[in-house]
């Protein structure tokens, strides 16, 4: 009853069916709607959906197809032009059809008219011209998180909702609100516990419960979470004053952010972002508190969303990236064709990965959303992040001043209170007034034209430094340093000569630290891991671990797999690995030093982690390339000349320039080389070092770990920002290597001073990397 009250309706009009989430509610509709399939004497049903719909809505067509019911996608512009009534004789047809559309696009925040509900049900608006009776599914999951929905006025037939989108809790509970006029028509085949009034086990006899909710809620509902909902609604009302105030509050934040963001310009007049929206953010009835965009460089080229996400995380800002489970809207706003989607799949891009650019074109975008708990400082923090990372002080101009000084001074101490909504509104109106002198997006973009892309962005993966097409004499390339990292994400162990094993340098990343839930810990979560110093003593067959303020502790190198070790399965990025625990003694030592419960685990030698085939291109297909606990490849190589060039960029941005030694340690490479040319390593397809041959499998896309000083554990977000500025639209630095497995772990060694013989790519154009997760060496 409290839920129905929230949506301004009663049990006389609607029934609530609890589900595991909004997706489960949509699946229930597809399975139980009274479809009439093709091939019967009656006209068949149609399932129509707006292309700007969540994956879970589009996925309903899989069920309808199995029932021999046709699905018809409708573009938003088509439904706006579909205002034509059917002939009178066709209006009497009772064939049920279902039209689904979102009350608010989860991609752009566009609010579609709720008046469509009555217009479609009355026949005033027809999604497609076909005889029959239309029912409406209103996907309200995004809408109800920040806007009031009055089902007394807008009586859709089905309304799936997700409670955690309203409160942030609980995550495993949703509901389907069903209009009681259609509820008796719903069909159900499976019956679970609690749904039967009576049935026979020995005969085909089943009689359902009378209550629609009880009939469709199979098994035990999540009653403890359901109890929590009343408290959620009550607290929401008490804190905010209701959904209308939430609507005004969140829209004010979005309107302000949009106004500043859309007016940010580089010195050459080019916009800093491209916003994907169907509105001008002037009316909360047609626009929700969602801003979808891509960041551009000075030439109008899109920066990959993965890079923006990495930078945002350094500023403690959470954004969402990709296509947001809404491929239709993503295609519409980004201009991605059906053929592009299929080509991107062939190129290795799948939903949810970090492949953000293919042939220089974006595969997705960045989204920020405001909720009832969002504050004006949140909006300022985000805008200052964009300004700090994209604009120099001379570029920032008026928008930068508007975000910082005037706005901060005019914010009252109590502006966060929902009882002070009027003050917030006045404050934001003043803010907009201050911004009116900034040229509008329409005024500026009309006279600014992006530069022509350079040969399909062939150099997107490298710096602008000229790279020779072949090495003709000159200084030899040699190994300057060798590092291994016995414990993943802990300190480096530097050596001058070291054996090579089947998984890379012997004992490199054979161990890792996990939290009390068995999840791998890295410096992203615990920077103090870099202060844990492991070293390998091959003579005594032990690993010695040291840290300041702690007594040294040793771990045997001998594999304990056969000594009653419990083998468990762990995960490193996308790789599944078999591991075993190294015991209570070392677990206690690490827990004491890090100040949190954790354990040391080691990769089991009897099961090896197989790398992806794409990373072994060019290697023998009959050979299995195995990995230790690394993220991506067996080896990571960096070039001192490249470090030197990057140091010049960083020094210009930092008050205290970094030493070369510190920069080298931040990039956590296995092999550090001295080569004459900076970034020439990115032209190599393979290298030879003595008898060892290595395949180059791609560049290393850097993450925030390079921001951590490996001697102190302190963060400096300027490092990643400087790398981004120096390298253009990517944060690549260093190359990954794989080598053919050896018959013996000790059959060869790598030594400082050894000569490196590279083989250049036949075509000097640098191809975009195939693997796009952020893969730091850890």
Give strand pairing partners of 571.
Answer: 576
Give strand pairing partners of 206.
Answer: 199
Q: Buried (b) or exposed (e) across 51-68, using 16+ Cβ within 10 A?
A: bbbbbbbbebbebbeeee
CA distance 325 to 330: 9
Do residues 719 and 706 touch, judged by C-beta distance below 8 A?
yes
Do residues 258 and 275 touch, judged by C-beta distance below 8 A?
yes
Place of tokens 């469709």: 216
Q: In the chain, what is the greatest distance between 2 CA atoms, to the nearest angstrom?
A: 94
| Beta-sheet pairing, 542-546 with 553-556 | antiparallel
| Beta-sheet pairing, 174-179 with 158-162 | antiparallel
The total number of residues shown for the chain amounts to 778
| Beta-sheet pairing, 133-139 with 96-102 | parallel
Place of tokens 């600014």: 448
Helix, strand, or coil (residue 753): coil
CA distance 349 to 343: 9
384: number of Cβ within 10 Å: 17
CA distance 509 to 507: 6
Q: What residues have CB less than 8 Å from 422, skipping those under 6 apart?
A: none
Residue 112's Cβ-side half-sphere holds a number of Cα atoms within 13 Å equal to: 25
As given in the structure block, the two tokens for residue 273 are 């972002």
Q: What is the DSSP letter of 143?
A: G
Do residues 389 and 723 touch, judged by C-beta distance below 8 A?
no
Q: What is the DSSP letter of 609?
A: E
Do residues 52 and 76 touch, judged by C-beta distance below 8 A?
yes
Q: Which of 325, 490, 530, 598 is catalytic?
A: 325
CA distance 601 to 587: 9
Phi and psi at 738, nearest 5°, equal -130, 150
CA distance 603 to 609: 9
DSSP string spanning 228-272? HHHHHHHHHHHHHS-HHHHHHHHHHHHHHHHHHHHT-B-TTS-BS
How far apart, in Å, are the Cα atoms of 222 and each of 18, 29, 145, 359, 735?
A: 8, 20, 21, 47, 49
SS3 content of the chain, % helix, strand, coil (to 5): 30, 25, 45
As given in the structure block, the two tokens for residue 32 are 């139980």
Do residues 599 and 519 touch, judged by C-beta distance below 8 A?
no
**For this structure, is 573 an active site residue?**
no
CA distance 346 to 340: 10
Do residues 277 and 287 touch, judged by C-beta distance below 8 A?
yes
Q: Which positions are catalytic?
A: 325
């Amino acid at each position: 009853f409290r839920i129905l009250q929230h949506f301004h309706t009663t049990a006389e009009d609607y029934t609530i069916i609890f589900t595991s989430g909004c997706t489960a509610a949509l699946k229930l509709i597809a399975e139980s709607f009274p479809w009439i399939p093709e091939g019967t004497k009656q006209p068949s049903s149609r399932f129509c959906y707006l292309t700007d719909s969540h994956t879970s809505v589009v996925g309903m067509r899989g069920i309808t197809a199995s029932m021999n019911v046709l699905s018809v996608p409708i573009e938003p512009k088509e439904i706006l032009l579909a205002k034509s009534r059917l002939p009178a004789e066709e209006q009497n047809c009772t064939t049920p059809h279902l039209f689904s559309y979102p009350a608010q696009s989860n991609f752009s925040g566009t609010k579609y008219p709720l008046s469509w509900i009555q217009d479609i049900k009355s026949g005033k608006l027809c999604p497609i011209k076909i005889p029959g009776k239309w029912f409406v599914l209103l996907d309200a999951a995004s809408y109800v998180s920040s806007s009031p929905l009055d089902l007394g006025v807008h009586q859709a037939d089905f309304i799936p909702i997700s409670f955690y989108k309203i409160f942030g809790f609980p995550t495993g509970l949703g509901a389907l609100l069903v209009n009681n006029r259609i509820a008796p028509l719903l069909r159900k085949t499976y019956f679970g516990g609690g749904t039967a009034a009576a049935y026979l086990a020995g005969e085909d006899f089943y009689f359902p419960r009378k209550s629609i909710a009880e009939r469709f809620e199979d098994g035990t509902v999540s009653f403890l979470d359901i109890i929590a909902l009343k408290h959620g609604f009550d607290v929401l009302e008490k804190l905010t004053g209701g959904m209308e105030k939430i609507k005004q509050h969140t829209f004010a934040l979005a309107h302000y952010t949009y106004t500043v963001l859309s007016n940010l310009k580089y010195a050459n007049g080019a916009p800093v972002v491209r916003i994907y929206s169907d509105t001008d953010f002037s009316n909360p009835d047609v626009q929700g508190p969602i801003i979808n965009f891509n960041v551009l460089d000075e030439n109008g080229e899109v920066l990959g969303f993965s890079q923006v996400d990495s930078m945002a995380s350094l500023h403690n800002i959470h954004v969402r990236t990709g296509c947001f489970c809404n491929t239709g809207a993503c295609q519409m706003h980004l201009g991605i064709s059906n053929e592009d989607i299929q080509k991107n799949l062939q190129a290795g891009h799948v939903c949810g990965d970090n492949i953000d650019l293919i042939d220089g074109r974006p595969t997705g975008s960045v989204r920020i959303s405001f909720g009832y708990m969002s504050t004006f400082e949140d909006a300022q923090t985000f805008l200052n992040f964009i300004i700090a990372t994209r604009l120099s002080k001379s570029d920032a101009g008026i928008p930068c001043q508007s975000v910082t000084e005037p706005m901060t001074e005019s914010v009252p101490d109590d502006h966060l209170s929902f009882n002070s909504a009027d003050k917030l509104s006045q404050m934001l109106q003043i803010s907009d007034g201050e911004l009116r002198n900034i040229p509008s997006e329409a005024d500026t973009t009309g006279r600014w034209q992006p530069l022509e892309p350079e040969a399909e962005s062939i150099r997107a993966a490298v710096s602008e430094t000229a790279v020779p097409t072949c090495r003709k004499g000159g200084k030899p390339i040699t190994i300057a340093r060798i590092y291994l990292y016995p414990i993943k994400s802990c300190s480096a162990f530097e050596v001058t000569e070291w054996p090579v094993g089947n998984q890379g340098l012997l004992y490199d990343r054979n161990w890792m630290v996990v939290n009390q839930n068995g999840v791998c810990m890295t410096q992203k979560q615990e920077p103090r891991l870099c202060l844990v110093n492991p070293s390998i003593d091959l003579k005594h067959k032990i690993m010695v671990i040291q840290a300041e303020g702690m007594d040294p502790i040793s771990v045997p190198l001998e594999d304990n797999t056969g000594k009653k070790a419990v083998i468990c399965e762990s995960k490193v990025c996308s790789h599944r690995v078999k591991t075993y625990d190294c015991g209570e003694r070392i677990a206690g030592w690490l827990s004491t030093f890090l100040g949190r419960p954790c354990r040391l685990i080691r990769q089991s030698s009897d099961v090896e982690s197989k790398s992806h085939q794409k990373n072994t291109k060019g290697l023998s297909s009959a050979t299995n390339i195995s990995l230790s606990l690394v993220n991506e490849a067996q080896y990571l190589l960096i070039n001192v000349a490249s470090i030197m060039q990057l140091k010049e960029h960083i020094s210009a941005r930092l008050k205290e320039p970094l030493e070369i030694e510190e920069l080298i340690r931040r990039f956590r490479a296995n092999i550090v080389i001295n080569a004459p040319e900076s970034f020439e390593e990115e032209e190599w397809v393979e290298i030879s070092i003595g008898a060892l041959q290595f395949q180059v499998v791609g560049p290393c896309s850097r993450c925030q770990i390079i921001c951590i000083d490996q001697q102190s554990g302190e963060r400096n977000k300027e490092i990643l920002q400087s790398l981004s500025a120096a390298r253009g639209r990517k944060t690549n630095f260093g190359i990954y290597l794989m080598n053919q497995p050896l018959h013996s772990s000790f059959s060869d060694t790598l030594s400082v001073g050894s000569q490196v013989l590279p083989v250049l790519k036949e075509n000097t154009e640098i191809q975009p990397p195939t693997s796009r997760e952020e893969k730091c060496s850890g």
